[in-house]
């Protein structure tokens, strides 16, 4: 088996970046070293047979070589020939119908004293170093891997981070329609054109930034099919919107791929520094140390040999047309608040004050002017003017006619400024600020009116007679 699958199985139990929680241990099977005829073999027995179980040796060139031990659900026993008797460390991964059943464990089969006939059915496997990950073991039928995304037609309102928003669930389905059980892994990118999409399940995933993530899919589990829940989260909106979620079997490129290499190396114990997508001194030192440990020559984080060992390289697929799938859903809009149209306008999900100098009321649906101003429709908040004070009275001379004294006498009186008197046109004539009697033999009865003397009558146009 290639080192790629060993590393992928190891990834399943490590908390890589934004990976899911560590998996639970698998139920321990009973493993014995036996002789199958004249050939040493490994016998695996289990009581619980509801999991799809895959076991593989973690040391290259060991007694089990590159062989996979695959036990389908319902299979309680498996016997696999070995090249020789010896101690073996196995990595064991289990997949169930429910993602919560997924498990991972390692166990060691101790050295046995069993002696079988000297003839063996397989030569010891020579450790020739890592080989490119093609998505299928050498000698198997060409493989086809497919991905499918399903979402509901409408995404209802839910709760996102304590605020109103849209939340709905879908399903990501991974299958292998053609080919034998494969080694290696598949690079899966999951992304949405807006919002946030999360994947629930045992796959180790990295955050690519924005609304995208990269996950590693062990090819060995693809033949049985894998259905994983996905959840779409969107902030509140007040207009219908459409969101598209896509999944694609493809490795990332550029800085995103460098970030994955940095995260993978650090998780394997080779400190590559922060996953910033830059190949700095710490990243280069981690690449060199890891390459030396794996027996490869690589100095660049994007070196094809390094990517193949880390399981981040390209893969083979005879039907690439089903390597990508997208699904869309319509987000149900939230109801618009009943904002007061005179003092507010609806913006960014809330009723905003329409004019300067305003503050929102407790209801959040209307605004009022601050102290010292009042609201005028169409104009906003206008400053309130102080009332004009009433002037103090002043003393002015005013002639007052006194009947019977044959003239006018005057005296000071207190009065407010008043407009000039309106003269009676039939009995007086306006002269300056006063009304003078129009005819002789007349006297004032008021500042604006005169009457004929005693015994005389006023004839219009002629006077007193």
What pLDDT is attached to residue 163?
Answer: 61
Question: What average pLDDT score do residues 356-380 get?
Answer: 88
Contact, 19 vs 96, CB < 8 A?
A: no
pTM (two decimals): 0.48
Give the span between the Cα atoms of 249 and 196, in whole angstroms: 19
281-294 and 254-267 helices, crossing angle to 10°? 60
Give the span between the Cα atoms of 110 and 371, in whole angstroms: 86
pLDDT band per the 50, 70, 90 thresholds, residue 170: very high
What pLDDT is attached to residue 139?
Answer: 39
Adjacent-strand bridge partners of 105: 92
Q: Which residues contact 297 (CB under 8 A, 6 or more apart)?
A: 291, 305
Give the span between the Cα atoms of 352 and 339, in whole angstroms: 9
Return phi, psi of residue 400, to 5°.
-120, 120
Most confidently predicted of 85-99, 123-137, 311-325, 351-365: 351-365
Distances, alpha carbon 378 to alpha carbons 77, 319, 341, 354, 451, in Å: 85, 66, 11, 10, 59
User: Among candidates 63, 40, 54, which has minimal Cα distance to 6?
Assistant: 54
Question: What average pLDDT score do residues 418-434 get?
Answer: 80
Q: Which tens digit of pLDDT belongs to each residue from 298-323? A: 889 888 888 877 767 667 778 888 98
Phi and psi based region of residue 343 (left: phi greater than 0; alpha: psi -120 to 50; beta: remaining): alpha
Contact, 163 vs 186, CB < 8 A?
A: no
Residue 310 has a CB neighbour count (10 Å cut-off) of 26
Q: Which tens digit of pLDDT belongs to each residue from 87-96? A: 888 878 787 7
Q: Which two tokens stand for residue 348?
A: 């960014």
Q: Which tens digit of pLDDT belongs to each residue from 20-60? A: 445 678 888 898 888 877 778 888 998 877 888 888 776 65
Which of 56-70, 78-92, 168-182 shows the lowest mean pLDDT across its residues?
56-70
Distances, alpha carbon 450 to alpha carbons 421, 429, 433, 444, in Å: 13, 10, 16, 4
Which of 13-27, 75-89, 194-208, 449-463 shows the lowest mean pLDDT across its residues?
13-27
Q: Which residue has the tokens 């099977």?
A: 29
What pLDDT is attached to residue 133?
Answer: 41
Question: What is the total residue count of the chain?
Answer: 465
135 pLDDT above the threshold of 50: no
Adjacent-strand bridge partners of 70: 54
Which of 127-131, 188-192, 214-218 shows the lowest mean pLDDT across its residues?
127-131
pLDDT band per the 50, 70, 90 thresholds, residue 131: very low
253 pLDDT above the threshold of 60: yes
Question: With 0-12 CB in 10 A as exposed, 13-18 as middle and 19+ as buried, what is 27?
Answer: middle
What pLDDT is attached to residue 6?
Answer: 40
Q: Which tens digit of pLDDT belongs to each residue from 370-413? A: 888 888 888 889 888 777 777 666 655 555 555 555 554 555 55
Q: Name the average pLDDT for the chain.
A: 77
Q: Which residue has the higher pLDDT, 347 or 62?
A: 347
Give the span between the Cα atoms of 465 and 453, in whole angstroms: 10
Residue 272 has a CB neighbour count (10 Å cut-off) of 27
Give the span between the Cα atoms of 97 and 86, in whole angstroms: 35
Question: What average pLDDT score do residues 142-167 get?
Answer: 81
Q: Which two tokens stand for residue 128?
A: 């020739």
70 pLDDT above the threshold of 80: no
């Amino acid at each position: 088996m290639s080192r790629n699958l060993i590393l992928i199985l190891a990834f399943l139990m490590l908390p890589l970046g934004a990976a899911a929680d560590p998996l639970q241990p698998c139920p321990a099977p009973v493993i014995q070293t036996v002789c199958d005829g004249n050939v040493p073999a490994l016998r695996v027995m289990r009581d619980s047979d509801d999991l799809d179980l895959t076991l593989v040796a973690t040391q290259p060139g060991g007694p089990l070589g590159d062989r996979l031990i695959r036990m389908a659900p319902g299979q309680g026993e498996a016997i696999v020939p070995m090249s020789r008797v010896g101690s073996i460390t196995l990595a064991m991964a289990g997949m169930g119908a429910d993602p919560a059943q997924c498990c991972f464990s390692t166990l060691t089969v101790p050295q046995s004293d069993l002696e079988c006939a000297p003839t063996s059915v397989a030569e010891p496997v020579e450790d020739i170093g890592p080989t490119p990950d093609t998505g299928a073991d050498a000698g198997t039928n060409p493989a086809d891997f497919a991905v499918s995304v399903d979402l509901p037609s409408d995404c209802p309102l839910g709760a996102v981070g304590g605020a109103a928003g849209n939340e709905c669930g879908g399903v990501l389905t991974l299958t292998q329609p053609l080919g034998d059980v494969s080694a290696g892994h598949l690079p899966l990118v999951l992304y949405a054109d807006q919002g946030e999409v999360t994947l629930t399940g045992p796959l180790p995933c990295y955050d690519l930034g924005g609304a995208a993530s990269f996950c590693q899919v062990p090819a060995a589990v693809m033949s049985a099919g894998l259905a994983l829940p996905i959840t779409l989260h969107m902030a509140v909106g007040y207009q219908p919107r459409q969101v598209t979620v896509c999944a694609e079997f493809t490795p990332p490129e550029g800085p995103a791929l460098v970030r994955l290499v940095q995260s993978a190396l650090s998780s394997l114990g080779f400190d590559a520094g922060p996953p910033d997508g830059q190949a700095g001194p710490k990243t280069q030192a981690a690449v060199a140390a890891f390459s030396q440990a794996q027996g490869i020559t690589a100095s660049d984080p994007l070196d094809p040999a390094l990517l193949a060992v880390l399981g981040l390289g390209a893969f083979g697929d005879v039907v690439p047309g089903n390597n990508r799938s997208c699904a869309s859903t319509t987000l149900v809009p939230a109801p618009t608040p009943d904002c007061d149209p005179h003092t507010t306008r609806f913006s960014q999900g809330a009723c905003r004050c329409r004019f300067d100098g305003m503050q929102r009321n407790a209801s959040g649906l209307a605004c009022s002017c601050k102290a010292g101003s009042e609201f005028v429709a169409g104009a906003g908040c206008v400053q309130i003017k102080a009332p004009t004070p009433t002037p103090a009275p002043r003393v002015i001379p005013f002639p007052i006619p006194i009947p019977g004294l044959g003239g006018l006498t005057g005296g000071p009186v207190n009065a407010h400024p008043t407009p000039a008197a309106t003269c009676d046109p039939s009995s007086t004539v306006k002269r300056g600020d006063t009304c003078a009697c129009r005819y002789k033999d007349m006297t004032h009865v008021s500042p604006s009116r005169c009457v004929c003397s005693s015994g005389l009558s006023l004839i219009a146009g002629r006077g007193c007679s």
